[in-house]
Chains A and B, each alone.
Chain A
């Protein structure tokens, strides 16, 4: 009874993965952008990051004035990049949780001939796309209103682009790790992504250099690609005029370190997700609705 399919299974797998990623992205964007009317969505997209950056500016003026414009630049780039972490990483986890608990579609998505990983990556990329506006607004505000020393002449575009791509990959890897836990836990699944996000905010140098952390947290921080990503983005956008989280490393070393950690985390995330998915099938909890 089994019918013969393609001669090249890997080509089928790639095609299926790409198709699934596109549809996942489309769905993610529809959900992200259709919850309200376009005008309100636009205002929200601008107002939210502006609010975030203004809070940081207050913090800067009240607490960290001693750091000068180098510290201000640190703040602004961190604030511009962090929405990618929040939306991308948490978005991956929430995609699965909302499909399971709110939309109740996870079982139908799961039993269709797709790659669930590609689907979740697509959903995460849609969420990350929605962070682009926030990042742009923050950077523009930082450059033109706060006077952060960021000039076209000093921006290392290829370096920044490479760092950005690796950063997004590592954000999604973190998302897959969080989703691996979310698929196995039930009632606390909603809280977990936010908790992980808060912990990363603390240890990855989002708003202050990791050099101020205790040594054990510094070691932990160095093992997380987000620390390297934020560092590389600051170096790419601001050049030498910025406080550094990894002061003993050259720009190239930071990028290579980010690349290696990203590969490591992506590989680990894929393996962990595969195990978690299988475990959830064993336990019979893959589509179990719990609390929504």
Chain B
């Protein structure tokens, strides 16, 4: 038996389609194209990709909603095809951008009902529901009907539903989609709080918000057209980016900049003049080299107005790997 929380091997999922203007041949659409991924217990793993990349399909296979076309997937050590019931006892899922919930029930009733699906004793369940509702700031709404909740409130309620059974593995499928900034921040804050409070739990988060993946995840995989095209920690992915970390230094106008390249450790220097100032973009062998540059400027009696260290973002990583910005890839996926 595997000790991994999630393990997939050459996972393929295709969808049959009818002939249409967009797909005149009626050829099957490949949503997952040989995905192999290992996620150990306790990891907060992010799956980053544009719309249509295969993120939701991947989660649907793992949570037993969808059968794979070929390949294998194990969750908590159990096969998602042949041992679906065992998988379901150990997982939970929260999806964003939807309005699920029995509108005729109150928040507390709805959550109690789901707790019963997981076999929780009623008293334990109600105590936990109240506790979680307090944490997400929904306690005052506990006796309101679900139909009367705003989108943000519903999403928080669904987050509570997902966490209620204290799952070994939690699947978060774009949990902050459609939420306003404040509600999204609350949801992220609570996810972080939960993972810290319950070490050993595994989270698989799909998102197309770069900052969300950077803020939350231990490791991130970039998925594009059903394939995992990169997988590492956010820091390691950033380091892979061509150009890597660089400094931007703004100073009084310089007559020439050839001398900057002579400073030991400076690998590349580009200068740009604007508003009567010179902006130097410096790529250095290591951070300590910047002291030599600053000293050289001081020797030339040039004042420094600003100094910034710029690290590449996951967005840069994505652009380098996929060749387009995420938003552009989204539009491509929708087209």
Q: Which 4 A-B pairs have the closest CB atoms?
A: A1-B77, A104-B100, A112-B117, A2-B77
B101 touches A286 (CB 8 A): no
Q: How far is the CA of A19 from the CA of B76 in the complex (A)?
A: 24
A154 within 8 A of B: no
In the complex with contacts A1-B1, A111-B64, A113-B117, A103-B93 CB distance below 8 A:
no
B85 touches A112 (CB 8 A): no
B3 touches A113 (CB 8 A): no
Chain B residues lying within 8 Å of A15, measured Cβ to Cβ, are 119
Task: Among B15, B60, B116, point to the contact of A19 (Cβ < 8 A).
Answer: B116
Q: How far is the CA of A133 from the CA of B122 in the complex (A)?
A: 30
What are 22 contact pairs spanning A and B, CB under 8 A? Answer: A1-B1, A2-B86, A19-B116, A19-B117, A26-B113, A27-B113, A34-B105, A103-B100, A103-B101, A104-B99, A104-B101, A105-B102, A107-B93, A107-B95, A108-B114, A111-B88, A112-B114, A282-B67, A283-B16, A284-B15, A284-B60, A284-B66
Q: How far is the CA of A114 from the CA of B117 in the complex (A)?
A: 6
Question: A285 CB to closest chain B CB, in angstroms?
Answer: 9
Which residues in window 80-130 of B have CB below 8 A to A?
85-86, 88-89, 91-93, 95, 98-105, 109, 113-114, 116-119
What per-residue 1/0 map shows which CB atoms of B182-209 lie under 8 Å from chain A?
A: 0000000000000000000000000000
A35 within 8 A of B: yes
A14 within 8 A of B: no
A117 within 8 A of B: no
Q: How far is the CA of A109 from the CA of B110 in the complex (A)?
A: 12
A105 touches B101 (CB 8 A): yes
A170 within 8 A of B: no
A143 within 8 A of B: no
A1 touches B67 (CB 8 A): no
A111 touches B113 (CB 8 A): no
Chain A's closest residue to B171 (CB) is: A111
In the complex with contacts A23-B117, A30-B109, A283-B16, A1-B4 CB distance below 8 A:
yes
Chain B residues lying within 8 Å of A284, measured Cβ to Cβ, are 13, 15, 57, 60, 66
B5 touches A19 (CB 8 A): no
Residue of B2, B67, B109 with most chain A CB atoms under a 10 A cut-off: B67
Chain B residues lying within 8 Å of A112, measured Cβ to Cβ, are 88, 114, 117-118
Chain A residues lying within 8 Å of B4, measured Cβ to Cβ, are 1
Which residues in window 74-115 of A have CB below 8 A to B?
103-105, 107-114
A2 touches B1 (CB 8 A): yes
Q: How far is the CA of A43 from the CA of B11 in the complex (A)?
A: 56
Instruction: Kindly list 16 other residue pairs between chains A and B, CB separation below 8 angstroms, not including A107-B65, A111-B93.
Output: A1-B2, A1-B41, A2-B78, A15-B119, A16-B119, A30-B109, A31-B102, A34-B104, A103-B100, A104-B101, A105-B100, A108-B114, A111-B91, A113-B117, A281-B66, A284-B66
B219 within 8 A of A: no
Q: How far is the CA of A174 from the CA of B99 in the complex (A)?
A: 31
B227 within 8 A of A: no
Residue of A1, A110, A287 with most chain B CB atoms under a 10 A cut-off: A1
Chain B residues lying within 8 Å of A22, measured Cβ to Cβ, are 116
Q: How far is the CA of A262 from the CA of B67 in the complex (A)?
A: 32
A127 within 8 A of B: no
Task: Among B16, B41, B88, B99, point to the contact of A113 (Cβ < 8 A).
Answer: B88
Chain A residues lying within 8 Å of B13, measured Cβ to Cβ, are 284
Chain A residues lying within 8 Å of B109, measured Cβ to Cβ, are 30
Chain B's closest residue to A109 (CB) is: B117
A20 within 8 A of B: yes
Which residues in window 1-45 of B have CB below 8 A to A?
1-5, 13, 15-16, 41
B161 within 8 A of A: yes
